Structure 1
Amino acid sequence: MKAPQDIILRPVITEASMENVQSRKYTFKVAKDANKIEIAQAVEGLFPGVKVARVNTVSCRGKFKRMGRTAGYTASSKKAIVTLTEGSKTIEFFDSMI
């Protein structure tokens, strides 16, 4: 089994993701091979007192980029939008960003 730090890579800090914090939805960049159950267990393991209600995942394809004559793709990634239950604690990291 993977460690929670290997599954949850970093938080996603954008305007859209910060608007969802009020409705208890938090966005993370996760490992591409992680499934929803592993993501939920990793969030509950990394942040004590947090209970996950549901997890939505989005696979993001790499973008096509050019630098002069050379062309290629950026790295593909996976995002997870984690919704918490009503009775659980919030994630303090995101609360300090608001």
Structure 2
Amino acid sequence: MSEEHFSTEKRVLMAMRKTLAKIIRDLTPSDSALRYPLSDETVEDVKKCFDLISARERELAQAAGIDVRDRPHFVDEPRTTNVVPIQGLKTKD
């Protein structure tokens, strides 16, 4: 598959995920006393859709060589690694 196909498919998946999330957010009653408008079967189907979207996004990321476990880091977040410059090391004679 071409890079353009991956890009288009990735955009489609993102749009579908965001649209589904917005629909669920709009349909969720703000008052807990109100009845949820979707049936249990529909809720399960939406969850399955989210699972399929996530699985395909992981496949696309792996095909592109992206580690899906990578997470963003804050600039002021403490580092968990310490880089030591090789130039400062001396050999034993």
TM-score by length of 2: 0.21
Higher relative contact order (CA 8 A, sep 6+): 1
TM-score by length of 1: 0.21
Which protein has the bigger helix share?
Answer: 2
